[in-house]
Amino acid sequence: MTETSAINLPARDRPRLKKGTIELAIGVLIVGAWILAAAGAGIVAPADPNALDLAAVLAPPGPAHLMGTDNLGRDILSRVIHGARIDIWMGFIGVLAPLCIGVLVGLVSGYYGGMTDTILMRLVDITVAFPFFILVIAIVGLLGPGLANYFVALGLVAWVAYARLVRAEVLVVKRLEFVQAAKALGFPDRAILFRHVLPNVLGSITIYAWTDAVMVILAGASLGFLGLGAQPPTAEWGVMISDGQPYIVQAWWICFFPGLAMVTLSLGFILISDGLSRRLRVSQ
Amino acid sequence: MHYLTFIGRRLLHIVPVLIGISLVSFLLVMLVPGDPVRLVLGPRATDDAVAAMREAWGLDRSLLSQYLTYVGNVVQGNLGDSLKYRLPVWDLIAQYLPRTAFLIGYVLAMTVPVTVLLAVTAARREGDWPDQVIRLLSVLGMTIPVFWLAVIFARLFGIQLGWFPVSGYGEGFLGHLHHLFLPAVSTSLWLAPVLTRNLRGALVQQMDADYVAACRAKGLPERLIFRRHILPNSVLPTLNLLGVMIAFLIGGSVVVEIVYAVPGLGALMIGAVLGRDYFVIQGLTLVYALVTVLVTLVIDLLTAAIDPRTVG
Amino acid sequence: MSVISIRNLSVTFPGDAGPVQAVKDVSFDLEEGEILGIVGESGSGKSVTCRAMLGLLPRRATLGGRILHHGQDLTQPAAMQAARGRDIAMIFQNPASHLDPLMTIGDQVAEPLIFHFGMSRAEARAEALKLLDAVQIRDAAGRMSAYPHQLSGGMKQRVLIATALACRPKLLLADEPTTALDVTVQAEILALLKTLNRERNLTMALVSHDLGVIAEICHRVIVMRQGEIVESGRLRDLVHAPKHDYTRLLITSQPGRLPQMTDQRPDSAPLIELRDLSLHFPGKGDKVVRAVDGVSLSVRQGECLAIVGESGSGKSTVARAVIGLNAPTGGDILYEGRSVVGLKGEALTAFRRKVQMVFQSPFDSLNPRMSIQRTIAEPLWRHGLATKAEAMDRALELMDMVELPRSLAGRRPGMLSGGQCQRVGIARALALSPRVLIADEVTSALDVTIQAQILKLLTRLRKEQDLTVIYISHDLTVVRKFCDRVAVFRTGQLVESGTTAEVYADPKAAYTRDLIAAAPDLDQALAGVT
């Protein structure tokens, strides 16, 4: 077996890919492609997403309409591409707002502890006692359907996950000696929190945020499907699946392609999250 | 500390959460833009009728006294009346709850064995092809929107192949199993990957633990080490996730119930939301939260029973 | 007759920059009844060699050579499985993590008996009880149903030893078995191992970084460095006539052999005074943890005061109280005669410039996401003593001062060695030109040769900067060489204090005597037993 290691030795010259790089690359490629398509929807999409073509109602996928048309003759491909705008936007806002609130709460709660921590964590306990989707439905249901109210509901509910995650990490990091050193050196709390603690918890937040984006988009699309999210005729993937459901027997493509779009976008997000977490684990 | 003391302390911890839950569900109705009474009675109601309704609902009193009345009612099992069905909300929930409970039990019965099997296979062959395949499948599973899968399955297995009914709840135990098969499978296909990833991760981590090396040094065979040491230690984090996931499922069941027209709590909830049946929304949210608290409690007690460290 | 023969053992791990050979062509024999010491610093391959002998290497490791045991080659899995636990057993460095947290002590000790000897659970537990008695666990019957987390570190190590002895093995491998334990517990465990060797004719291989520990019980020693055997033989011969430069370096770096670095001055005025200082924390339930309890002590201008104690003695808590990281619950701390308890704002900032601290863990004490130049510069500009640009320049000078090459300035801590990180920590603490430097176990995570360098550096800086040093340590041998005065702590209380020379020559308290006796020292051990 000594021979094998001797043969392997020249591998030093051939640089190896870091673990997780492949996942990360594929993920970035998929998500990048979707963002490009969404940004340039006006150019990329073959037709107006809301243009009715009553001559080509329920047309199956073919050369004229690559993904077919729906019951009003709208081009599915164009609607899927324009839908990406809504769904990516939904994921972006739906992650960013709770992330900011949650990180702030988690930092303060974990770092200072004491009464502030007790009160904030009680608030978290109470919020997680409600099933996430139910509370979102209830809030959206009472405020009225629509994307704006979905974001309000997310802001009220989804920060909890980030607050818990950040708090747990801060509790670990603040015991580390470099934070103690920063205190002993008399650095102001703000500098310690944002310059020393935050950069060291950012990694796991980022990893979580990418999978959270999947959840936010799936939940948002579910709301759209239930008629509580984006409202027709907006081309949103969940709404499109809902629109296609009555025609599922004669025209499967109306439902199928928006769902497929959602799967690919989510896959991209999860691959990015996986790749990042594998790289982070290696570097530690 | 003894197990009983632990249970006592854990129960004590629930009290503020219960108060919080009741407060949130009480305040939820305040979110409704405009005057709920006007919304219920319609724009053409007379002022007298509105005033009478306000008094009947106690809306003319202070917020605190309204809250106390609310809690008093809830404790007696009175969640108010449905505006649509003109029935006590509690009766409605009692009628719809068993179906959702059955569905969730069904999903768990389907998911847990598969999860354990897949995670154990993947972990034992870490890095080999079975592991890679299972990892790929679990990533894919997590990306699939449950409602979309449900719609596709309904067409494929329900309508095209005609193997399973695509709506309703069925009669008798076997009927339920038959009717709820597609809803349960669609949900399980999302849940199993999440749990598998978690359990596999825990297993792989535990396989590298120091005490495993110590077991090997004792000369114990791998199979025994895995069964007696690695598995129990790995189950703990997954058990916690399972608790979280059950809470998630309770919410997630809404969509599947709509697609397959299962007359469960989810269907009731959506009906109430679309019909602006405020007290049903309020009551359901409260019940959902209570069930979640109960599930978390059970999981915590189970964890404490397995892990002597939690008890202290 | 040799119990085990290692022939041309090599172990290779895959690494990011190609394969890394952790053990290179190592051969040695273990004779029946002997205790062989394997000594080396981090990266020497000593633990990997030990683990290879029991087939405990990770799967990605590639093994070469042969491990012969009664005519069987243990590199073959079947032969290894037959010998493991029955003929050869092992104990480990960190006893806490090597016990299954979910299983009772009794069952863990009984497990190999059930498996190897086919005993019933009741028989095996009866035997386990005898074993726990044999390793001197008090109230063994009561401990049978205890879980690992309910035992102290020393107890856990005894449980592991009992488990290892269960099937009456001929060879016991001990991988740094006392490194995670307090000195007094270490002495007990070493004594136990020695007894087992004598009474059961148990052959042992003891892996350690500490020549003092090796000297206590080993008959013969192998010195390893970077995966190779540098030298081997009887320890006495090695110490008196080392053949290899590295062996010589290792021996001269032993704390007991370091030059005297104390700086006995005429009694100067007290700079810091602790008056009846207490720090009590709420513990489990209604209990109160008295981390520090009624301590009065003064630190004189320009001296180096050692605070010595085992884990739980409160020595670090005292230091953290002085620097204001923990608030005292009673008593007072005076700096130049003025109380510094509860200082706020400007006054606190001003005090912090005077008193600085260096921490134990070389890696944890530096922000992993900050370059070391920034790390050293940060205190200067945050205290408004310099602009950011000036601070960065000054950081380079500070790096010169602690003998760090300027080429490392842009690196992050992850790319530095432990000793280099510790130098960064010192430079950062000195950036504010403090008068007092608190050093909390600063060398306990470092190799002995690096420890010797850091102590030399601290001695030089002490003179150059006229620093008052509070040196917190568990290592009495280092303290004896490095500190002017010593204060011995136990369970939050001050046991004894005085000049180092006095305390070591004539310890007043019984506990101090125990501590001094338990501290492993190469020369004392050589003079005594071997």
B146 contacts in chain A (CB < 8 Å)? 218, 222
Question: Is the alpha carbon torsion for A108, A109, A113, A118 positive or negative?
Answer: positive
The per-residue pLDDT for range C450-471, each reduced to its tens digit, is 999 999 999 999 989 889 999 9
Report if residue B61 sits inside a domain: no
Give the CA distances from residue C34 to residues B179, C7, C54, C161, in Å, rounded to whole numbers and listed in that order.
Answer: 73, 19, 18, 18
Angular region, C168: left φ>0, alpha ψ -120 to 50, beta rest: left
Q: How much is the pTM?
A: 0.85
More confident site: A59 or C129: C129
Instruction: Categorize the per-residue pLDDT at A2 as very low, low, confident or very high, splitting at 50, 70 and 90.
Output: very low
> Around Cβ A257, how many Cβ atoms within 10 Å?
23
Instruction: Categorize the per-residue pLDDT at A17 as very low, low, confident or very high, splitting at 50, 70 and 90.
Output: low
Tell me the residue type at B72: G
C220-225 vs C203-208, strand pairing mode: unpaired
Q: Where are the alpha helices (DSSP H) in A130-197?
A: 132-143, 147-157, 159-175, 177-184, 189-191
pLDDT at C264 over 70: no
Is residue C473 domain-shared with residue C352, that is, in the same domain?
yes
The per-residue pLDDT for range C384-424, each reduced to its tens digit, is 999 999 999 999 999 999 999 999 999 999 889 999 999 99
**Burial (CB count <10 Å: 0-12, 13-18, 19+), residue A8:** middle
C468-473 vs C304-308, strand pairing mode: parallel
Report the CATH number that the domain containing residue C193 is assigned in CATH.
3.40.50.300
Closest chain A residue to B282, measured at CA: A138
C85 contacts in chain B (CB < 8 Å)? 217-220
Is C504's Cβ below 8 Å from some Cβ in B? no
Confirm if B104 and B249 have CB atoms less than 8 A apart.
yes
Q: How far is B288 from chain C (nearest CA, A)?
A: 34
Q: Which long-range contacts (CB under 8 A, 24 or more apart) does B196-199 make?
A: B196/B114, B196/B115, B196/B118, B196/B119, B196/B122, B196/B134, B196/B138, B197/B135, B197/B138, B197/B142, B198/B237, B198/B238, B198/B241, B199/B115, B199/B116, B199/B119, B199/B123, B199/B234, B199/B235, B199/B238
Q: Which of C100, C157, C172 to mutate to test the interface with B (most CBs of B within 10 A)?
A: C100
Is residue C149 domain-shared with residue C178, that is, in the same domain?
no
**pLDDT-wise least confident of A52-56, A138-142, C358-362:** A52-56
Is C40's Cβ below 8 Å from some Cβ in B? no
A9 contacts in chain C (CB < 8 Å)? 18-19
H-helix or E-strand containing B191?
Answer: helix B181-207
pLDDT for res A10: 34
pLDDT at C83 over 50: yes
The per-residue pLDDT for range A159-169, each reduced to its tens digit, is 999 999 999 99
Q: Which of B214, B219, B312 sits opposite C160 (nearest CB)?
A: B214
Mark which of C118, C153, C168 sits at the end of a domain: C168
Q: How far is B245 from chain A (nearest CA, A)?
A: 9
What is the rounded distance in angstroms from the CA atom of residue B199 to the CA atom of residue B202?
5
Report if residue C56 sits inside a domain: yes
pLDDT for res A91: 92
What is the rounded distance in angstroms from the CA atom of residue C188 to the CA atom of residue C513?
15
Burial B95-115, CB ≥16 within 10 A → b, else e: ebbebbebbbebbbebbbebb
Is residue C467 domain-shared with residue C335, that is, in the same domain?
yes
Q: Which of A5, A169, A172, A280 to mutate to test the interface with C (most CBs of C within 10 A)?
A: A5
- Specify the number of domains making up chain C: 3
Report the CATH number that the domain containing residue B228 is assigned in CATH.
1.10.3720.10
3 state SS for C286-331 = CCEEEEEEEEEEEEECCCEEEEECCCCCCHHHHHHHHCCCCCCCEE
What is the rounded distance in angstroms from the CA atom of residue C388 to the CA atom of residue C100?
51
Closest chain A residue to B194, measured at CA: A211
| CATH classification for the domain delimited by A17-47+62-283, as one of 3.40.50.1820, 3.30.365.10, 1.10.357.10, 1.10.3720.10 | 1.10.3720.10
Is residue C274 domain-shared with residue C313, that is, in the same domain?
yes
Residue B272 belongs to domain spanning = 101-276
Mark which of C199, C223, C254 sits at the end of a domain: C254
Mean of the pLDDT values across residues C170-178? 93
Report if residue B157 sits inside a domain: yes
Q: Which of A131, A140, A141 sits opposite B247 (nearest CB)?
A: A131
- Specify the number of domains making up chain B: 1
Of C36, C25, C30, C33, nearest in space to C5 by CA:
C30
pLDDT at C210 over 50: yes
Of A256, A116, A259, A107, nearest in space to A196 by CA:
A107
Mean of the pLDDT values across residues C100-124? 93
What is the rounded distance in angstroms from the CA atom of residue C244 to the CA atom of residue B131?
49
Residue C215 belongs to domain spanning = 2-87+170-254
A238 contacts in chain B (CB < 8 Å)? 145, 147
Report if residue C32 sits inside a domain: yes
**Are C359 and A181 a contacting pair at CB < 8 A?**
yes
The per-residue pLDDT for range A193-229, each reduced to its tens digit, is 999 999 999 988 999 999 999 999 999 999 999 988 8
Instruction: Categorize the per-residue pLDDT at A9 as very low, low, confident or very high, splitting at 50, 70 and 90.
Output: very low
Mean of the pLDDT values across residues B265-283? 88
The per-residue pLDDT for range B96-131, each reduced to its tens digit, is 999 999 999 999 999 999 999 999 999 988 888 899
Q: Which two tokens stand for residue A77?
A: 């491909």
pLDDT at C86 over 80: yes
**Are A248 and B155 a contacting pair at CB < 8 A?**
yes
B220 contacts in chain C (CB < 8 Å)? 85, 111-112, 115
Of C278, C275, C271, C269, nearest in space to C333 by CA:
C275
